[in-house]
Structures are given as structure tokens and as C-alpha cells.
Structure 1
């Protein structure tokens, strides 16, 4: 699991570099985005049938995870769902999380944020995330100035309304969510249980109040409606599979291990608890003490029982790499990628290790992996930076400059993007695909005709 704190005015430029720069070797800062393949795959697994029932393409919906201890989830900017880690850890079962997902999908299907204003519609994806965090900070604290370091210029126009839903929209999302659950023969009891967690939040104010209660008005009518559905549905006693129950417990344990203090994790998951998720949480907490040797020993015990688990291999690789043992980390990451080949973030982690080993054969392999990564994660700016290093070491300086141009362009640094693109064009063969891409970046990153070229470049993607 990786994270990147959101600090100062350069926050937006780094959102998509999330966390390939540093692991959770120390307590995570508040209000950051995290990336985690295991958690995203689990949530997508339970959410995909809901998205399909709503007539949505699962691949078109982006999931984001915000390291924030409060209970909140929301949609914004179209088909983007945001989850606070506090909400994920507060759900006791996958059915409760599925109820939240069904409700938020109801907001997407209902187009409830389609008219959030010209600023939001025209915002880039990076800027959108900055707006969302700024608005969320204002809502959570009750202070408009809380968003000051995040929202810049005219974007603050949506600060007060971006995440706010009306009572009518909430009821509509509940109805749609239950319809999606019913169509998949799944219980809405989890939705009711989660709403029950929020009872009383409407009476609170300021910092004591859950952001979810602020952005999603909770009424007795809503609860009564869901209660009636649970009472009458033939699927109310349906449970998700034992495998999904296990994946949910692992998600909660993993988040506890990386986000909570080690002492708190050890208390929640004592040695007497021999479940897989408890052992997982203790391994992560031990790594964060920091005790790399002890953490590796705990992970190896898990691997003795589950030798093909990609995420245990991934954790072992992270611990070893951050302990200054890249050669050992390489083997762990290879095993992780072998067990889960379609995992670009794990492939990126392996590439970083290969570049750290800095041998000709490793640099060439890293380049191949990184080219795969940027095709899957084109906005992962850290991957472009690593690819630039790989190209440079392999003697392809034109492509190295183009990769740096991509990094700068996707970070919003138009000046550097134009400079690097121009540099790339001096070396690349004219009229090749790479040369044309460099030309596009250079032109869109200069003031003249920027809006026209931005539109053209977007259409080419």
C-alpha cells in the first residue's frame, strides 16, 4: 500500500504520483490519497454487478481512496467514487460496504452531480481532485478557509455545493441502490445497517459530525423506507460468499495496520487471534515499528500457508526494498507479479526495484515493464519519471525526454512539458508516433492555441 500526503499549493500536481515515492513506513498524514491493488480489486469485485445493473460500464468508473478517519463516501465529477478509509474500516461486513456502493451508484445513475457548475465541468481530473478535497475539508470542519490551501482561484466557486446532495436526491439514490441490489439477488440489509451507524449524526455539529451525515442528509423517512424494503425482500437474508467476507476482513486489517499506530493495531489484533487477517495486520504493524526482520518473518509464516498469495509477496517486497535489500525484494515482487500478472502497480514496484539494481539487463527489463505500466496507468506520473530513467540508461535520450514531457504535462507543469517535448523532438525521428506526440505536448503546453490543442489531444486518446 502506498500514499502521498497532500501538502501545500503543489498538491494537485502530485495526486497521480500517489505513493510510488514512499511507503507507509511511518504514520500516514491526514487527507492523502492511497493506492492499493488488493483493496481496489476487492471493491471492484463486489461493485461490478451493481454498476452493471445501473447500466454503467465498470471500467469507466474510477475509484479513489482518501486517507481520512471520518466516515464518508461520495461521487463527483461524473463517474468517480471516493471512499474515506474511515468508512471502509467502519464497515463490519461486505454487505454494509455494498450498500454504500449501491447508494453512491444511484447518485451516478441519477445524474445528481451533472449540474455542479461550469467550473467543475471544465476542471481537469487533477484539478477536480483538488476541488473535491477542498470542498470536503470545508464541509468536515465547518470552515470555508479550510479549503484555502487546496482550492485556487475560481475553483472555490463550487466549494460549498460540490458534495452536497438534496434530501430528494438521497431518497432517489436509496431507491435506485436497492433496485440494483434486488436485481442481483443481494440483500439491502447492509445498507440499513450502515444507515443505523449514522443515526444521531444529524444532531451533531462541527467536528463531531460525520461528513457523510453532512453531505448525505439522513432522515427517518429514508431509514423507514430501507427498513420496509428489508422486511419485504426475499433476498434480505442473503450473504455474500465466504471468500468475499474474508477479503473484507483482510481489507479492514490491512488498513488498520498501515493507518493506525502499531500499538493500536496490536491491541485490535492480539497474538491470540490466529486468523489470516489478524496475522496480516500484525505483520504490517511490525514493519511500521519499524522492525523489518520481524515483519518479514511474519509474512513468511503467512506465505508458508498461502504460497501463491500475491499480496503477501508484495508486502514482503515492500518491506525488503525499504530495508535496503533490493535484490531480495526483486524476488518477492516477481512472485507477486507471477501470481497476479495484470497488476500494473505491482509491475511498477518491480520496475523500481530493477532500476535500483542498475544493471544493463535489469534496466532493459524495467523499460519493458514501465511501458506496460504507462499504457495501463497513463496518469501515474511517477511511472513516467521511472520510464525516463530507464530510457536514459538504455541510451534512448529522445524517448527519455518524451517521458519527462509526459510526466510534466500530466502533473500540470506546462512550462517543463513544453521544454522537454521540444528537447525530445531534437532527437526523435520526424513524423514518427513519438515525434508527433512530442509535438502535441509542446503545442498544447504553450499559451498560443492551447484550448484548441487541448481538445484535439483529448480526442486522440
Structure 2
């Protein structure tokens, strides 16, 4: 699987999120789908959707959790194993209940960090320890106390689970959705309760299950006017596309072709096969597949994005540019697509294209400021147009998000030497220098 910045799924590993092989993945379409499913639930809970960060963890296990306040983590294993959108929505309604209830809103002082991505890295390490029952699983992450994970992190009480369930049922009713998905998910888990911790899915280790919880959901369903209300056609369509896309990127092409054979002419299957050919890589067949989808669905930004990715990866950035431009035009709010468009422009090695890349990166960074790869592209773009101070500042931002404090300090000093004294950019560079010094001192002092 391609893990370059330009990978369509941008299934590139987040540079600050490694813990026992766990990493974050980025994808504009999948994130938009999850966000659109979750936003009505957040509103029902009285939460600001923009204040909640959603992370997709590349991990085959069935798990989801909240941590560090308003951070929702969903494993790819969970996304792939949900049989319909109502199951995923039910799980997210439950996790929203944890957020609204303030469960685990405060993490241990030992994992405080100035960098959000450093916090994410720590959370993934601790989640691995708690979910597997093995404190050593998160040993790569500094916890400041060997038993912190086991004592307090991601360990929900049965009382909190019941409270989150009750809240979830309320949110589902408020949004006019059936709780059948949550019921089915809990019943799936109940079949694993007798398994050892090593064999059962981590969700059970972090979310204690009891028959009372299932009974409470059943009782709610009996009285709910939305009991038999199915998912909308749009939800079903988007969920099927998400599963097909994830499967094609995360499994081998052979597995994808078995699950989505040529005899399956539905859109998700065609999408999956296009990705599988890209993964082989057989770029010609991949282009043939995706272009038939574009012919049938010309206004779909993500099909244009895949075409652009295939062309870019095959060393044809000039041909990829119109496809990236089409994707951006059809989804102008996607910072991820705009970053990839800027990267394509930079690959043209043309001064006019470099100027356009700067404008796109300055727009994209407004929503992608936690993505270290975006800051790297920003640094390249600024360097190409001779804005050396701004380029150094962007590199300092990148290194800060990657927890590389020595490099961040060096680039922040370099930026200050180039930027006008007292300017907002110079003051930001000074802040980053001081932050980097503090973080290095904390590391030295243990």
C-alpha cells in the first residue's frame, strides 16, 4: 500500500501517531462520511461538532473510544465490520455519550503535551496497552508511570457505559434514527464475553458489557417510534462506499477481487476494483475503471481525486492536474484535496504553478493545521517562491507536530533571522522556539 503524502486515501501514516504499529490514516471522503453521520449526534448532545476531532486508526481490531476530552477514535476494523450505517451510527452515539458525560475528559498529567499529535501518539500507545491487557504494548510511549494506563486510562465503568447508552438512545431518538444498530453491535460483542482478553475484541476490554445494557436498549426499542426506521438511502450508499474503499486499500488486491468480483456491477464494487488495480499497481486498468465511474458520475469529487492520484503516482503530474482541479472544484471545502492539488502544482516545476501552490496551501492549512505533511508542503511552496523565512517557519510547525523539538527549535531560529522583526510570523517563530526549548528540557529532566 502506498504511504506517500499523495496517496489517494492519503493512507499515509501520520508522523506522530505510531504505537505498536498503530497509525492514523487520512481520507477526505471517509472522514466526510463519518463526520456527516456524527454531526447530528453531536448537535443532539449539545456539543460543538467543530470542537470534536475524529481520528481513524489503522488497526484491524473492532474498537472505538474517546480520550483526552473531545477526541473520538475509530479503528478501521470497526468501520469494516459494521454491516450497515446504523451500527456505526449507534457506536458513535454511544461514544458521544461518553464525550457529553465528561467521561475521561481529563487525561493523566503524565501525557500532557503541547502538541495535539503528540497527545494522539500517547493515546494510541495507552489504548494498545489497555485494550490488550498488556502494559508493554504501549511501552514506546512515555507515560510517566508504569501503571497509569491500567489504572485510569480508557477504562470505563459499567455505570459510565450505562450512562453513555442512555444518552445514545436519547440522541438517536432526537435525530429520528433507530437504535437497532446499537442493539446489533452489543449483541455481536456479547458473543465474545467468555473469550480470553487476548482473543476478544479490545472494545470489550475498554467498554464493559452486561446483559442489563442490552436489555435497556431492547426496552427502548420496544417503545421507540423509530424502531423500524431504516437508514436513509444516502447513508447506505455512503457506508457501502466507505467499506469498499477501506477494504481495497487495506487488503490485498487478490482479496479485493474475491470480495468484489467482476460480476458485481454495483458502484462500491467498481470503486474497489479501481483501487485494487491501483494497488497492484496496474495503472492502465485502474484508469480504465475509474474513468468509467467518472463517465457515469461526473460530479463525484472522489472519483476525480482517484484518477488524479493514479496519474500522479505514474509520473504524469501535468495530466493529473486537471483531475485534481476538478476534485477541488467539486469539493472546495476539503483541505486534504487542496493539499494534494498544491503538491501536484509543485511537481510541475513551473514558477507560475508554484505561486498557485502557495495560494492553495495557505487556504488548505486553515483546516489542516494539525497535519504535519501539509506544513511540509507549505514549506516547499514558500521555498520555491523565495519566501525563506516563511518556509523555515512552516518547517518549525511541521517538526513541532512531529514532536521533533530540536529540529523545530532550529527552524524557528532560522525563521526569526529571515522574518521582519515584530511581525506576526516572527512572533510565532519565537513562540515555537520557546516551546521547543521547554519540551526538550522536559525530556532531559525525565
TM range (shorter): over 0.9
CA gap of 1:371–1:115, structure 2 versus 1, over 3 A, is: closer
- Other-structure match for 1:35: 26
How far apart, in 1, do the equivalents of 2:286 and 2:343 lie? 21
1:289: how far off? 1.4
- Other-structure match for 1:167: 158
1:416: how far off? 2.0
- Other-structure match for 2:274: 283
1:376-409 CA-to-partner distances (Å, cap 9, x unmatched) read: 2112111111111111111111211221222222
- Other-structure match for 1:2: 10
TM-score by length of 2: 0.92
Q: Secondary structure at the match of 1:224?
A: helix
Correspondence for 2:167 among 165, 171, 176: 176
1:198-244 CA-to-partner distances (Å, cap 9, x unmatched) read: 12211111432100111111111111111111111111111232111
CA gap of 1:153–1:248, structure 2 versus 1, over 3 A, is: closer
- Other-structure match for 1:381: 372
- Other-structure match for 2:148: 158
- Other-structure match for 1:367: 358
- Other-structure match for 1:223: 214
Question: Is 1:442–2:444 an aligned residue pair?
Answer: no
Matching of residues 82-121 of structure 1 within 5 Å: 82-120=73-111
CA gap of 1:448–1:159, structure 2 versus 1, over 3 A, is: closer
CA gap of 1:324–1:414, structure 2 versus 1, over 3 A, is: same
How large is the Cα RMSD of the aligned pairs? 2.0
How far apart, in 2, do the equivalents of 1:122 and 1:290 lie? 40
Question: Is 1:143–2:134 an aligned residue pair?
Answer: yes
Q: Secondary structure at the match of 1:376?
A: coil
Question: Is 1:186–2:167 an aligned residue pair?
Answer: no
Q: Secondary structure at the match of 1:201?
A: coil
How far apart, in 2, do the equivalents of 1:449 and 1:203 lie? 46
- Other-structure match for 1:14: 16
How far apart, in 2, do the equivalents of 1:443 and 1:259 lie? 40
Correspondence for 1:292 among 277, 283, 299: 283
1:292: how far off? 0.9
Work out whether residues 31 and 66 of structure 1, in 8 Å CA contact, stay in contact via their aligned partners in 2: yes
How far apart, in 2, do the equivalents of 1:157 and 1:429 lie? 48
Number of equivalenced pairs: 432
- Other-structure match for 1:128: 119
1:413: how far off? 2.2
- Other-structure match for 1:457: none
How far apart, in 2, do the equivalents of 1:334 and 1:5 lie? 25
1:328-385 CA-to-partner distances (Å, cap 9, x unmatched) read: 1111111100110111000001111111111101111111111112222112111111
How far apart, in 2, do the equivalents of 1:428 and 1:92 lie? 54
Q: Secondary structure at the match of 1:367?
A: helix
TM-score by length of 1: 0.89
Structure 1 segments unaligned to the other structure (5+ residues): 7-12, 17-28, 452-461
Correspondence for 2:205 among 214, 222, 226: 214
Correspondence for 1:274 among 245, 248, 265: 265
CA gap of 1:343–1:448, structure 2 versus 1, over 3 A, is: closer
Question: Is 1:309–2:309 an aligned residue pair?
Answer: no
Q: Bigger shift: 217-226 or 403-412?
A: 403-412
CA gap of 1:278–1:448, structure 2 versus 1, over 3 A, is: closer
Q: Bigger shift: 130-139 or 252-261?
A: 130-139
Q: Secondary structure at the match of 2:11?
A: strand
Matching of residues 383-422 of structure 1 within 5 Å: 383-422=374-413
